[in-house]
Amino acid sequence: MAWLTGEKVREMGFAYVGKNTMLSDKASYYNCKNIQLGDNVRVDDFCVLSAGEGGIDIGNFIHIAVFSSLIGAGNISLANFCNISSRVSIYSSNDDYSGESMTNPTVPPAFTNVKHADVNIGRHVIIGAGSIVLPGVTLEDGVAVGALSLVKQDCKSFGIYMGVPAKRNGERKRDLLELEKKLMNSLERDRESIFGA
């Protein structure tokens, strides 16, 4: 996998790019001025990040695996330590499927009824391969979504959700919160050893 150089990333005009960010040169990035990327972010091959007016806000320590897409006019936010598995689709815009209006972006807006709503993905969320997250959904901290799930309603913290539509199926352990503290403490110690207390 080849990564974009720092110079190329700067030329693309992202709203913000943190440290140690690895962006595949085979992924597609649209409206970069509306995309913020934190520290330690990795975006793999063939992903699509297409930001609308609401933008895409990606925190720290986040992996977006191959063939995933974040698309829509509403805001899509990923909090720290999220893991987006391969072929996950996160939408902040969605056509009206009822037949009462026309669909697709080539049709003038007066003839469509597209729903735009923010999507909020909390800390330590993992979304399994092939899953779909629809507009207006919040996945609270610690949620795990099983592969091939359709998430159309909010998911409460540290639940394990799966299915079509996704339903709470179990409880996720919280050990990872202690591991986060250890990681952050070790990073702080490393920083102090380099720059002094």
Buried b (16+ CB within 10 A) or exposed e, 60-76: bbbbbbbbbbbbbbbbb
| Pairing verdict, β 69-72 and 115-116 | unpaired
CB atoms inside a 10 Å sphere around CB 182:
9
pTM, entire model: 0.94
> Burial level of 152, CB count in 10 A (0-12/13-18/19+)?
middle
Q: What is the pLDDT along the chain (197 residues), one digit of tens a residue?
A: 799 999 999 999 999 999 999 999 999 999 999 999 999 999 999 999 999 999 999 999 999 999 999 999 999 999 999 999 999 999 999 999 999 999 999 999 999 999 999 999 999 999 999 999 999 999 999 999 999 999 999 999 999 999 999 999 999 999 999 999 999 999 988 877 766 65
Residues 6+ apart with CB under 8 A from 86: 44, 65, 66, 67, 68, 129, 130
> Burial level of 161, CB count in 10 A (0-12/13-18/19+)?
buried
Cα distance between residue 94 and residue 114, in whole Å? 6
Sign of CA dihedral 27, 78, 135, 14: negative
Cα distance between residue 89 and residue 129, in whole Å? 9
- Residues in a beta bridge with 42: 22, 63
Cα distance between residue 60 and residue 96, in whole Å? 34
6-195 classified as CATH 2.160.10.10: yes
The two counts, helices (H) then strands (E), for the chain are 2, 22
Closest CA to 69 of 125, 117, 127: 127
Distances in Å between the Cα of 60 and the Cα atoms of 2, 14, 186 are: 21, 16, 16
